[in-house]
Amino acid sequence: MLDTISGFFAEYGQILGQGTVDTLIMTVVSTILAYVIGLPLGVLLVITQPHGIWPHKWLNRALGWIINVGRSLPFIILMLAIMDFTKLLVGTKVGIRGAVVPLVVSAAPFIARLVETSLSEVDAGVVEAAQSMGASTFQIVWKVYLPEARPSLTLGGSISIITILAYTAIAGCVGAGGLGDLAIRYGYQRKVPSMMLATVVLIVIFVQIIQSVFSWLSKAIDKRLK
Amino acid sequence: MAQPIIEIRHLTKTFGTGDTAVTALEDINLEVRAGEIFGIIGLSGAGKSTLVRCMNLLERPTSGSVVVDGQELTALTEAQLRKARRSITMIFQGFHLLMQRTVLHNVCFPMELSGVPKARQRQRALELLELVGLADKAEAYPAQLSGGQKQRVAIARALATDPKVLLCDEATSALDPNTTASILELLKDLNRKLGVTVVVITHQMSVIEEICSRVAILDGGVIAEQGEVEDIFSNPRTEIGRQLVYPSCVRIAQLPASRVIRLAFNGGSSYEPLIASLAIDCGVKVNILGADTRNMDGRAFGTMLLGLPQDPGEAAKALEYIRCQPNITVEEVEHHA
């Protein structure tokens, strides 16, 4: 048994390590970039509502429509559909760089909805109080909505990261590298069951760690619970 | 007569348009004088909250004018209005504190908005917390405070920009009677010390009675009557006024006595048997015509209507006796039996 395991690591250890690193890089970079786009979109969705602090009916509808389109496409189809755009943007359709573009395009609308949900939980009365003190729209977003929603945004963060982690595995289908790629090429195509097992175990461990850390963090920063 | 600090003229507010339009306020005219505590009372749905929100333009009136401290609010640009709001601050029934900030940073918040330097913010916030009696809670979070303490923080926060007017939207409605009394006491105190004009919105007559000098009664979006609190209390002219002033279920026109007085219990000891003492000490028998009193922690709150004896001497004696009691206010009720 031990021989089998050490034999497996001797043969595949290095590519498994590389796959893990690739997956983590893709996940982290895509999550950050997806938040750069998704967070402002989510904020706009909330404040442009008819009873929001910056009501713009048509902007709100247009945003909602675009986000719904983005969310309705399954990741694998979106990834293939925008390949030319990906090439144009980062110069390649494959590898980590090629995967990050569709990952971001797919996750940003998803994140926008998560952010919208988190911000909607902020007590409307607190927002009104800030308005009554003469806060500007930007000040309300920056000093009321985002800080007050921090615990909920943090929980949303774990959902986003785990979703993107799952997407990286799909991106493995088209040469993105990472654990998904190993599972497909070695575990499935070359019939190495221990490789399939190793990738599955690693991904499960990552998801557990991410969820635990973010759940803990969300509670730790929430001052309502003390 | 003091200068009006809030002047509302022909204010109308309609929600929605066309067939579904609802008129929340109709042709409201009122003046709040600088330095007074003005009450607006009405049943729920009367338009009180909408009216108070028209005073800082959280609600924009459909028509009419709102002049606060010499500025016509409806004519201001967004930026000017934001600046004007620093001198017309507000506290709420639900406190509306920032739950993720400490008490100190909640009080700093309005100063942060207007760009006061950090060190000055902190110093001023600590002074204000001292003023509302919560200096020791500066580093606590709102979730750790009681309702009364939260409202004190909200008051400190509302005072941070040195406002001329403090609007109180049902500020004591979520609090128990003892805490209500202490918050009202604080508001009265701040009004006296700082000269800040206070506008109180409430559905509780006891609140008006406790701190207001003048009152407007709002009913169905119009002002039913307004004037000095004592006048309205002793002689409410409208049905809604009578409903609010007298205990429930009393129809004043049908009262069987010729002279009727109204007592208000403002939190004095409920262990004092007033009516019995009156009979024993003065030998005067009065008739309880209606009462709506509550005993909270040994303190009496509420109102009572008493019919005085026919004999003028006895009636005067009874009146004199009751007037000497602490924590009870008395008014004669005009009615025509």
Judged by CB atoms closer than 8 Å, whether chains meet at B85 and A148 is answered as no
Distances (CA, A) of B84 to A36, A110, A184, B36, B196: 35, 40, 65, 20, 15
What CATH number is associated with residue A112?
1.10.3720.10
Query: Choosing among B55, B56, B96, which should be mutated to test the A contact, i.e. which has the most A CBs within 10 A?
Result: B96
Q: Where are the alpha helices (DSSP H) in chain A?
A: 2-47, 57-72, 75-81, 83-90, 95-120, 124-132, 137-140, 146-148, 150-171, 179-182, 193-221
Judged by CB atoms closer than 8 Å, whether chains meet at A226 and B143 is answered as yes
**Residue B293 clears pLDDT 90, i.e. is over it:** no
Residue of chain B minimizing CA distance to A128: B58
Q: What is the interface pTM, i.e. ipTM, of the complex?
A: 0.91
Residues of chain A contacting B98 with CB distance shorter than 8 Å:
126, 144, 147-148
* 3-state SS assignment for residue A74: coil
Residues of chain B contacting A141 with CB distance shorter than 8 Å:
none
**Residue A4 clears pLDDT 50, i.e. is over it:** yes
Average pLDDT of the residues in B248-263: 69
Query: Choosing among A53, A133, A145, which should be mutated to test the B contact, i.e. which has the most B CBs within 10 A?
Result: A133
Average pLDDT of the residues in A133-162: 97
Q: Which pLDDT band holds residue B249 (cuts at 50, 70, 90)?
A: low
Q: Which residues 126-185 of B have a C-beta within 8 angstroms of A?
A: 141-144, 154, 157, 161, 167
- 3-state helix, strand, coil split of chain B in percent (to 5) is 40, 30, 30
Q: Which of B265, B121, B131 is nearest to B191 (CA)?
A: B131
Q: Which residues 7-66 of A have a C-beta within 8 angstroms of B?
A: none
Residues of chain A contacting B59 with CB distance shorter than 8 Å:
none
Q: Which pLDDT band holds residue A124 (cuts at 50, 70, 90)?
A: very high
Of residues B244 and B94, more confidence is placed in B94
**Residue B337 clears pLDDT 60, i.e. is over it:** no
* B329, β-bridge pairs: B264
Contact B265, B223 (CB under 8 A): no
Radius of gyration for the alpha carbons in chain A, expressed in angstroms and rounded:
21
Q: How high is the pLDDT of residue B233?
A: 80
Of residues B246 and B289, more confidence is placed in B289
- What integer best gives the mean pLDDT of chain B? 90
Average pLDDT of the residues in B146-154: 97
pLDDT in tens, A153-194: 999 999 999 999 999 999 987 788 899 999 989 988 999 899
A128 touching B, CB under 8 A? yes
Average pLDDT of the residues in A86-111: 93
Name the residue facing B98 among A139, A148, A222 (closest C-beta).
A148
Residues of chain B contacting A222 with CB distance shorter than 8 Å:
100
Q: How high is the pLDDT of residue B251?
A: 61
Judged by CB atoms closer than 8 Å, whether chains meet at A132 and B85 is answered as yes
B84 touching A, CB under 8 A? yes
B76 touching A, CB under 8 A? no
Query: Which residue reads 């998801």 in tokens?
Result: A207
B75 touching A, CB under 8 A? no
Judged by CB atoms closer than 8 Å, whether chains meet at A129 and B96 is answered as yes
A150 touching B, CB under 8 A? yes
Judged by CB atoms closer than 8 Å, whether chains meet at A126 and B98 is answered as yes
Q: What is the pTM of this model?
A: 0.87
Judged by CB atoms closer than 8 Å, whether chains meet at B96 and A223 is answered as no
- The alpha-carbon gap from B182 to the nearest alpha carbon of chain A, in Å, equals 23
Q: How high is the pLDDT of residue B252?
A: 58
Q: How high is the pLDDT of residue B257?
A: 65
Contact B11, B31 (CB under 8 A): no
* B306, β-bridge pairs: B261, B288
* B288, β-bridge pairs: B306
Q: How high is the pLDDT of residue B253?
A: 59
Instruction: Quote the CA–CA distance of B153 and B138 in Å, as a whole number.
Output: 9
Residues of chain B contacting A125 with CB distance shorter than 8 Å:
92, 94, 96
DSSP codes of every residue in B33-78: ETT-EEEEE--TTSSHHHHHHHTTTSS--SEEEEEETTEEGGGS-H
Average pLDDT of the residues in B33-59: 95
Q: At what angle do helices B177-194 and B147-159 cross, to 10 degrees?
A: 20
A109: containing domain: 2-225
Give the percent of chain A with pLDDT over 70.
100
Q: Which residues 98-137 of B have a C-beta within 8 angstroms of A?
A: 98-102, 109-110, 112-114
Domain count, chain A: 1
Q: How high is the pLDDT of residue B281?
A: 86
Name the residue facing A143 among B81, B94, B112 (closest C-beta).
B112
Judged by CB atoms closer than 8 Å, whether chains meet at A131 and B58 is answered as yes
Q: How high is the pLDDT of residue B316?
A: 87
Judged by CB atoms closer than 8 Å, whether chains meet at B112 and A136 is answered as no
Of residues B268 and B312, more confidence is placed in B312
